[in-house]
């Protein structure tokens, strides 16, 4: 089963917001051209044709200015959208990277805590599950080692009659330790 770390609703919202920004920019461009032409073209066909000929130098300037306005609106919208997207994506990635560095350094006390609307929650849950599994394995290994260590101390001073029971306890702890270690798969 494929897991989508970036939610479908986030992707849909991003596509919708981008489409809206493009439509608003096109509407601003169209409105600016309409207002410019509506102000200058009046009367019948021959008057309109003469007006268009007279406007042949100022019309490209008006179109250029309205395109610049539309492009400015589109650019600002994209900047805002980029900030929102980077906040929702980069924040979780930064948290996961820091947690991975802490785990690599041997600190298994870390967890990834994301905000409610952050993306990649599924990945964070899986990484937290991995860290919890490592904690449990390390705890089991430490527990088995403590039993072995205690058995070794008791074995030094134990009378011959008790040594068999202590060795049996140590053997069980060693088996538990080996089982915990074998549950950790490595490439070697």
DSSP code per residue over the chain: ----SS-HHHHHHHHHHHHHHHHHHHHHHHHHHHHHHHHH--SSHHHHHHHHHHTTTHHHHHHHHHHHHHHHHHHHHHHHHHHHHHHHHHHHHHHHHHHHHHHHTT-TT------TT-S-HHHHHHHHHHHHHHHHHHHHHHHHHHHHHHHHHHHHH--HHHHHHHHHHHHHHHHHHHHHHHTS----
Whether 131 and 172 share a structural domain:
yes
| pLDDT averaged over every residue in the chain | 80
Whether 17 and 82 share a structural domain:
yes
What pLDDT digit, counting tens, does each position of 141-179 carry?
899 889 888 888 888 888 988 888 988 988 998 888 888
Domains in the chain: how many in total? Answer: 2
113 part of a folded domain: no
Whether 33 and 99 share a structural domain:
yes
What pLDDT digit, counting tens, does each position of 42-64 carry?
667 777 677 667 767 776 777 77
Whether 95 and 182 share a structural domain:
no
pLDDT at 3 over 60: no
pLDDT at 108 over 70: yes
């Amino acid at each position: 089963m494929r897991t989508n770390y970036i939610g479908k609703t986030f992707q849909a919202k991003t596509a919708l917001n981008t489409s809206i920004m493009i439509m608003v920019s096109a509407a601003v461009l169209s409105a600016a051209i309409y207002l410019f032409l509506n102000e200058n073209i009046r009367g019948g066909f021959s008057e309109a044709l003469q007006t268009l000929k007279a406007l042949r130098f100022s019309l490209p300037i008006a179109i250029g200015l309205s395109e610049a306005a539309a492009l400015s609106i589109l650019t600002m919208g994209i900047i805002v959208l980029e900030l929102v997207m980077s906040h929702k994506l980069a924040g979780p990635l930064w948290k996961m990277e820091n947690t991975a560095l802490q785990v690599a350094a041997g600190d298994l006390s870390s967890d990834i805590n994301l905000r409610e609307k952050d993306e990649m929650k599924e990945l964070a849950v899986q990484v937290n599950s991995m860290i919890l599994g490592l904690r449990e394995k390390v705890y089991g290994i430490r527990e088995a080692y403590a039993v072995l260590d205690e058995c070794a101390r008791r074995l030094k001073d134990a009378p011959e009659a008790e040594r068999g029971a202590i060795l049996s306890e140590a053997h069980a702890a060693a088996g538990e330790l080996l089982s915990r270690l074998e549950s950790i798969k490595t490439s070697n």
